[in-house]
Structure 1
Amino acid sequence: MKMKHMLPSFLAAACCLLALVSCRQEPDSGAGPVAPVDVKVYGKLAAVLGHGRKKLELVDPGSGKVVKSIRLSGKPNGMAIDGNTAYVAEGGPGGVVEVVALDTGTVKGAFPAGHTPMSPVVRNGKLYVAARFDSKIVEMDASSGKVLNSWPASREPVALAVSPDGKKIWAANHLPAGAANGDFTAAALTLVENGKAVHFPLANGTQGVRGMAVSPDGRYLAVAHVLSRYQMPTTQLDRGWMNTNAVTIMDTACPDRPHPVLLDDPDAGAANPWGVLFSPDGSRLLVTHAGTHELSIIDFPALLARMKKEDRAGNPVSERLGFLHDIRTRVRLPLNGPRALASDGENVYVTGYFSDTLAQVPLKADAVPRNIPLNAEYRPSRERLGEQYFNDASHCFQGWQSCATCHPDARVDGLNWDLLNDGMGNPKNTRTMFLSHRTSPVMSLGVRASAEVAVTAGFVHIQFMEPDGDLAACVNEYLKNMKEVPSPFLMAGHPSRPQTKETGCAQCHAPGVERGSLTESARRGREIFKTAGCVQCHPHPYFTTKELVATGTAKGLDEGRKILVPSLVEVWRTAPYLHDGRAKTLREAVTVHNRGDIRGKTSSLNDRELEDLVNYVQSL
């Protein structure tokens, strides 16, 4: 295929207008966004999973009409279809897989599936699920839901792939799992074979992993992710200076040799690759770009031939801009936020997470995509538009990245970055955006007076674009109203009762978010948190004093400088720890890296007390 844009300029402009609806619009009185998170082909229909509406809908692509709408119990995260049965992974803590009969539209049952189950796969009578925040792969009997096995993943498995014979189970882990202050930091794949789980790191700088697919013959894996150049100072964006976007190709017989292929062009980034899929005949590799609203259609045999021809003793020749020239078609889609995709061999169906639409893309050359509205009357709120803008790379110079590139889900990427707002040569670990608007000042050294100032500065100095007032205001609205994700270290089956009706507490633990109870160990740890003096810098409700403190951990160019006390809410998901990411775990942070008991009196604690303390902090 010749590399080109398949839509004329006027359609591209229409897409931009769709994505940039004015922030001044207020919420519709309807049921809110569909927020489609998955799509599968079911006969001649497209089965679309709506996270926002909690529905599974069967859509006729020809007419654009919903043939059947099935109400689900929880917010869905992904699905698998086996014959007339859909297995829908739903919810957060205490998540389930609902079993849905597509022919009758009835829900037949539900299986417990861990914290935020994702990417279900059915193979040979077995059901596999990635329990994202439990960092586990779960194997169940597909008919009864009985758990047969579970294996540890590396960190936040978000996608699964199972070989055709069912002998190899692959999990793609979202983020790096180690310390960030070394020369190598990368997310990993987990392979389960012969009952054992082994982790294989991807290329240095890999983070933001979203999608994975196995080829029809089971020989190759394709993994979509961001490839960050975190060792470079953030002085520019040209030619992927900060972040590039990739699909890693791996021969399943050689899992220790990941081969990243850049999806960007020299002057046009392909931000935030998300969904990845092989066509049914294996001839094409399909990748969605959630940040630039595009679909890459890659001639897969030609890609393999090029990789083999240019292999240089393991040197990733493909890790260069323009490697896909002439073997990839880059399709601009008439929607916003393409994530999931499916194919029937003739067409590709892509969901628009923010535009509430479905695109039908014919695979024949020069065909024009069709836009199928799923929620035509809905008008997004300012908060919803803010989330859209946060994920939209069209607000970045040449589309290299969005805010979500370094803050996936508005949290962390697990990397150290050398931002220029506090000097050069002193990299810091990425901080979460959660509660940032309630815990000013922000940044590790407190160099921004407020999160509002930091948002505008981020567009100017990280995305190299000047945001208009509405755009920044909407992003701030989204970040201010982010909901806490309850910790997997809580007892999800035993909801905690509200301890207070104070406004501050409600801001920290938002209404409508059901939190589990503390374990007995965490309850003991709460008392140690007080007696060890941790509470002095991390008081309720935000678990930070919002002050700059001499922690004794600053090194290099920052030696002697004070560090802003971070909030401990959701700290279970923000590893690595300390401002330079040197501590892989919380236990390391309070033991190995707390000499002299500067940050709490932990040196005298025995192993059980340390375990109790860490269990409490991980429950916040």
Structure 2
Amino acid sequence: MKLTKMFRASATALCCLLALISCRQGPDAASGPLAPVDVKVVDHLVAVLGHESCVLELVDPASGEKVKSIRLAQPPNGMAVDGATAYVAEGGPRGAVEVVDLESGALKRSFPAGHTPMSPVVRGGKLYVACRFDSRVLEMDAATGTVLDSWNVPREPVALAVSPDGRKIWAAGHLPAGAADGDFTAAALTLVEDGKAVHFPLSNGTQGVRGMAISPDGRYLAVAHVLSRYQVPTTQLDRGWMNTNAVTVIDTDDPDKPHPVLLDDPDAGAANPWGVSFSGDGGKLFVTHAGTHELSVIDFPALLERMKREGRSNEPVSERLGFLHGLRTRIALPLNGPRAVASDGENVYVAGYFSDSLAEVSLKDACKSRAIPLNGQFRPSREKLGERYFNDASHCFQGWQSCATCHPDGRVDGLNWDLLNDGMGNPKNTRTMFLSHRTSPVMTLGVRASAEVAVTAGFVHIQFLEPSGELAECVNAYLKNMKEVPSPFLVAHNPSKQQTGGEGCAQCHAPGVERGALSESARRGREVFKTAGCVRCHPHPYFTTKELVATGTATGLDEGKSVLVPSLAEVWRTAPYLHDGRAKTIREAITTCNPGDIRGKTSSLNNRELEDLINYVQSL
């Protein structure tokens, strides 16, 4: 018996040693979800990034075999491939770019790259990275990682494109950056040329931007996004009444004239467009529909010709369903949650985020598709199923939208909506679902007793579908367990102290998430938060009393009504603010939108106290 135990112990130790010296070979993906977020064609292989498994895998599409699995230091968000070298943007608050040799699997270098680096592009010896939650774009030396320049982007850049000559850098912001109570609100593109950044808003109602690509000749941009009809009551879904789904085509020589083209058919939505790519010759444009699990293959020259022939300023293409008729092949994919897309000229490869698989679509054989499993042994938890259902528009009438359409990543879309749960004619700003299950009641006027009730009502009155018990239960499990994204205003390289029950603990609303420490200014601001009376309505740990309070922010048909005190956890990413989204920034919410000090005594604060208070609130 003793010898058997000794043998087992020795074998275990040997396995551990081999694991340590295995030169970055990845873990068994079957132990958890792969969650592929990017795909690239490398010679005859397909490179796949697994976000949750933290691996870069090389797959032979002919056999479906994994040729190599390379372990990464942090969850990857995107990659650029230059020859046999991959530049992998990964991580959150302490994001980095790992430079990986695809032949050996070895790490060459690692560069710090801001908060949640995404969509890296390599061009002419330079590396460009979108730092999503810093709202910045970095230009780096690809060999050394030295930052050469950086530029501000209006809000959450999630996609980059660089012209073939490297002279024009394009960044796509994920969400609108302005107030929501006006006649126009939209996400924007940023063009950097000759070192100067200029911002171009997309069409009114543009939100949920995900992917962008530049044509091989550098002449055109294609941007995938949701196009929301937020100015009408949500009484129906037919013909894209609430949300339509678009790819906007932009002539890079005339960027202030975005030309959105609807991807939906009159009776079949194409929810949540995500990945965008051009064929090598520019003849085809590929767009994935993450909500309806489809791929659109568009004849791009024919699209340009139709846009030129039929486009009229008084009848924008964005309002015309069926515009792509005869120009596009719409393909149902054998996977769930298609996001990233790439092509080798003969086939298109699409990664299924929730199915842990690839789809290969033949461009020469009537666009026939086949599935390539990447993680066949994995079985999702109820929480993971809930995330899948939350993003799945097949649980919506005609596939027009999913829960994630108005709540991307479970948060906000930056728009006001006139929902029917509390009357008609009283639009309100979209609320985040983070912590909603711990801060009941919910909805701005508290009309739902709990988040569980609101989830079921949302399927019925917004998706126009009666949810099954499992569907609602799984979505609730996902929302209850959403992880906080630490604020970019925290000092990321200096982790905060371990979670405690003390009043100063900022981790209690997200146990297990490592947060950076408060800056010196934010620490002073925490005291101002108390003395100004903010803490009365926003106490620790969820920074809300969960009560209805007369704040003076309700207008129109809601004027005089009390509103539910929102949680300030993650408030840095949920702009715009207040009942009707009138405040573009936290500063405006605290100052110009707080007449009579009705929501805290802020009018008497000096400049330093005000800055400290803002820095603290933005750190929550």
CA distance in 2, matches of 1:318, 1:188: 16
On the 8 A contact 1:234/1:419 being kept in 2, the answer is: yes
Deviation at 1:370, TM superposition (A): 1.1
Alignment partner, residue 465 of structure 1: 465
Alignment partner, residue 235 of structure 2: 235
Matched residue type, 1:120? P
Deviation at 1:313, TM superposition (A): 3.8
CA distance in 1, matches of 2:318, 2:570: 38
Alignment partner, residue 433 of structure 2: 433
Alignment partner, residue 214 of structure 1: 214
On the 8 A contact 2:331/2:367 being kept in 1, the answer is: no
Q: Deviations over 1:592-619 (max 9, x none)?
A: 1111111000000112111110000000
CA distance in 1, matches of 2:209, 2:30: 33
CA distance in 2, matches of 1:503, 1:402: 38
Deviation at 1:319, TM superposition (A): 3.2
* Aligned positions of 1:188-199 closer than 5 A: 188-199=188-199
Deviation at 1:499, TM superposition (A): 4.7
CA distance in 2, matches of 1:362, 1:508: 50
Alignment partner, residue 565 of structure 2: 565
Alignment partner, residue 542 of structure 1: 542
CA distance in 1, matches of 2:299, 2:214: 16
On the 8 A contact 1:307/1:318 being kept in 2, the answer is: no
Alignment partner, residue 525 of structure 1: 525
On the 8 A contact 2:294/2:332 being kept in 1, the answer is: yes
Describe the shift of the 1:503–1:292 C-alpha distance in structure 2 as closer, same or farther (beyond 3 A): farther
Say which SS state the counterpart of residue 457 (structure 1) adopts.
helix
* Aligned positions of 1:243-392 closer than 5 A: 243-313=243-313, 315-392=315-392
On the 8 A contact 1:225/1:274 being kept in 2, the answer is: yes
Deviation at 1:95, TM superposition (A): 0.2
CA distance in 1, matches of 2:498, 2:316: 54
Alignment partner, residue 135 of structure 1: 135
On the 8 A contact 2:500/2:508 being kept in 1, the answer is: no
Alignment partner, residue 17 of structure 1: none
CA distance in 2, matches of 1:563, 1:63: 58
Q: Deviations over 1:152-191 (max 9, x none)?
A: 0110000000000000000010000000000000000011
CA distance in 1, matches of 2:316, 2:477: 42
Equivalent residues, number: 593
* Aligned positions of 1:384-463 closer than 5 A: 384-463=384-463
Q: Deviations over 1:296-351 (max 9, x none)?
A: 00000000000000122474235310000011000000000000011001100000
On the 8 A contact 2:30/2:375 being kept in 1, the answer is: no
CA distance in 2, matches of 1:58, 1:311: 43
Say which SS state the counterpart of residue 176 (structure 1) adopts.
coil
Alignment TM-score, normalising by the size of structure 1 = 0.94
On the 8 A contact 1:347/1:361 being kept in 2, the answer is: yes
Q: Deviations over 1:426-475 (max 9, x none)?
A: 00000000000000000000000000000000000000000000000000
Say which SS state the counterpart of residue 159 (structure 2) adopts.
strand
Say which SS state the counterpart of residue 114 (structure 1) adopts.
coil
Unaligned stretches of 5+ residues in structure 1: 1-27
CA distance in 1, matches of 2:342, 2:312: 34
Q: Deviations over 1:128-168 (max 9, x none)?
A: 00000000000000000000000001100000000000000
Alignment partner, residue 24 of structure 1: none
* Aligned positions of 1:177-192 closer than 5 A: 177-192=177-192
CA distance in 2, matches of 1:317, 1:617: 42
Say which SS state the counterpart of residue 383 (structure 1) adopts.
helix
Describe the shift of the 1:70–1:277 C-alpha distance in structure 2 as closer, same or farther (beyond 3 A): same
Matched residue type, 2:230? Y
Alignment partner, residue 163 of structure 2: 163
CA distance in 2, matches of 1:246, 1:504: 45
Matched residue type, 1:70? I
Alignment partner, residue 515 of structure 1: 515
Describe the shift of the 1:67–1:502 C-alpha distance in structure 2 as closer, same or farther (beyond 3 A): farther
On the 8 A contact 1:414/1:576 being kept in 2, the answer is: yes
Matched residue type, 2:295? L
On the 8 A contact 2:239/2:266 being kept in 1, the answer is: yes
Question: Higher relative contact order by CA 8 Å / sep ≥ 6: 1 or 2?
Answer: 1
Describe the shift of the 1:29–1:114 C-alpha distance in structure 2 as closer, same or farther (beyond 3 A): closer
Identity of aligned residues (%): 80
Deviation at 1:512, TM superposition (A): 3.1
Alignment partner, residue 482 of structure 2: 482
Describe the shift of the 1:468–1:427 C-alpha distance in structure 2 as closer, same or farther (beyond 3 A): same
CA distance in 1, matches of 2:262, 2:472: 30
Deviation at 1:503, TM superposition (A): 13
Deviation at 1:508, TM superposition (A): 4.0
CA distance in 2, matches of 1:31, 1:461: 38
Alignment TM-score, normalising by the size of structure 2 = 0.94
Q: Deviations over 1:510-564 (max 9, x none)?
A: 3331100111111111000000000000000000000000001111111110000
Q: Deviations over 1:223-260 (max 9, x none)?
A: 00000000010000000000000000000011100000
CA distance in 2, matches of 1:505, 1:433: 22
On the 8 A contact 2:36/2:353 being kept in 1, the answer is: yes
CA distance in 2, matches of 1:507, 1:528: 20
On the 8 A contact 1:335/1:371 being kept in 2, the answer is: yes
CA distance in 2, matches of 1:146, 1:112: 9
Describe the shift of the 1:63–1:391 C-alpha distance in structure 2 as closer, same or farther (beyond 3 A): same
On the 8 A contact 1:435/1:508 being kept in 2, the answer is: no
Describe the shift of the 1:535–1:503 C-alpha distance in structure 2 as closer, same or farther (beyond 3 A): closer
CA distance in 1, matches of 2:509, 2:333: 38
Alignment partner, residue 15 of structure 2: none
1:151 aligns with 2:151: yes
Alignment partner, residue 498 of structure 1: 498
1:602 aligns with 2:602: yes
Alignment partner, residue 110 of structure 2: 110
CA distance in 2, matches of 1:472, 1:176: 29
On the 8 A contact 2:533/2:601 being kept in 1, the answer is: yes
On the 8 A contact 1:117/1:132 being kept in 2, the answer is: yes
Unaligned stretches of 5+ residues in structure 2: 1-27
CA distance in 2, matches of 1:367, 1:514: 46
CA distance in 1, matches of 2:546, 2:439: 6
CA distance in 1, matches of 2:113, 2:503: 34
Alignment partner, residue 9 of structure 2: none
On the 8 A contact 2:428/2:580 being kept in 1, the answer is: yes
Say which SS state the counterpart of residue 361 (structure 2) adopts.
strand
Say which SS state the counterpart of residue 303 (structure 2) adopts.
helix
On the 8 A contact 2:275/2:340 being kept in 1, the answer is: yes
CA distance in 1, matches of 2:210, 2:496: 32
Bigger CA drift: 602-611 or 509-518? 509-518
CA distance in 2, matches of 1:96, 1:449: 42
Deviation at 1:498, TM superposition (A): 2.2
Describe the shift of the 1:520–1:32 C-alpha distance in structure 2 as closer, same or farther (beyond 3 A): same
Matched residue type, 2:186? A
On the 8 A contact 1:291/1:392 being kept in 2, the answer is: yes
* Aligned positions of 1:24-43 closer than 5 A: 30-43=30-43
CA distance in 2, matches of 1:235, 1:417: 11
Alignment partner, residue 4 of structure 1: none
On the 8 A contact 2:206/2:227 being kept in 1, the answer is: yes
Q: Deviations over 1:9-30 (max 9, x none)?
A: xxxxxxxxxxxxxxxxxxx995
Q: Deviations over 1:199-227 (max 9, x none)?
A: 10000000000000000000000000000
Deviation at 1:108, TM superposition (A): 1.1
On the 8 A contact 2:179/2:582 being kept in 1, the answer is: yes
Describe the shift of the 1:503–1:484 C-alpha distance in structure 2 as closer, same or farther (beyond 3 A): farther
On the 8 A contact 2:30/2:376 being kept in 1, the answer is: no
